[in-house]
Amino acid sequence: MKEVFHEIPYHFGADVNISLKVDLDTSGGHAINFDSKRGIVLGDKSNITTTLELLVSTTTYTNLTACIFEFNFEANANVSMEAFVIYPSIKEVSVTNTVLK
């Protein structure tokens, strides 16, 4: 994750630990929907707000919020099962209205 958010180790040091906290505000809809054409729909690109919080820990800080992204997210997935093994397949992902807080 340090490769994706390279500013964080630059600011907090190379030994920083990064964790994610994800929250879905479902007051505008359902987080998981089943659709006969699209499969399993995770999120909703217009009715569900997703908050992604990056937390950093060092020898000085523990779970300090580095930044918060707020966005609308939607992913279409199909799931199959064979011999009690589940095989997910994400077909389409949409992220819109991203705001850095």
CB count within 10 Å of CB 48 equals 20
Q: Which two tokens stand for residue 65?
A: 């919020």
Evaluate if residue 28 carries a pLDDT over 80.
no
| Residue 21 falls inside a structural domain | yes
Q: Is residue 72 in a domain?
A: yes
| Structure confidence at residue 15 as a pLDDT band (50, 70, 90) | very high
Overall average pLDDT of the 42-61 stretch:
90
**Element containing residue 12 per DSSP (H, E):** helix 7-12
Does residue 62 have a pLDDT over 90? yes
Query: Considering its fold, how many domains does the chain have in total?
Result: 1
DSSP label at residue 9: H
Q: Does residue 15 belong to any structural domain of this protein? A: yes
Q: Is 2 part of a structural domain of the chain? A: no
Residue 84 domain boundaries: 7-100
- What is the average per-residue pLDDT within 6-24? 92
Residue among 74, 84, 51, 66 nearest 13 (CA): 66
Identity (one letter) of the amino acid at 24?
A: L
List Cβ neighbours of 95 (8 Å cut-off, separation of 6 or more). Answer: 71, 72, 73
